[in-house]
Amino acid sequence: MKTLLLALLLILLPVLAQATPECTGTTHTITTASTAVLAASDVPGGRQRLLIQNTGAVEVFCTIGATATATNGFLLGRSEAWSEVSTQGPNGVLTPIPSGAVNCITASSTSTVVACDW
């Protein structure tokens, strides 16, 4: 039994020792025109995590893979965030987050969002 546990530890140790990717968000000014805040993902296997935070004072609407308008997308109020994490299905296959470009817009005025994906 000790041999089996030692073998499993030696196999898993490189996986457990991998560094966790860091998110160094980029800040974007959002106006009444659809603004790209993240390009389409080129991460092998697809986007694993996504974070968009509205740090401005005006509501924003954000979409993945489509032009944002003031009537579609996810509504983010002041200080709200949109976070997505890929999930593993019952068959063990990882379901990535859609890899399209992320676009945001305001209905009026300007706001600011911070965005990152990895």
CATH at residue 104: 2.60.120
Question: What is the per-residue pLDDT across 13-22, written as a single tens digit (0 to 9) for each?
Answer: 444 444 555 6
Q: Establish if 39 belongs to a structural domain.
A: yes
Domain that holds residue 34: 24-117
Give pTM, 2 decimals: 0.76
Q: How confident is the model at residue 11 (pLDDT cuts 50, 70, 90)?
A: low
Burial string for 29-57 (b: 16+ CB within 10 Å, else e) reads ebbeebbebbeebeeeeebbbbbbbbbbe
Whether 4 is covered by a domain: the verdict is no
Residue at 37 is within a domain:
yes
- Return the pLDDT at 16: 42
How many domains would you assign to the chain? 1
Residue 6 maps to a domain: no
State the Cα–Cα distance between residues 3 and 41, nearest whole angstrom.
42
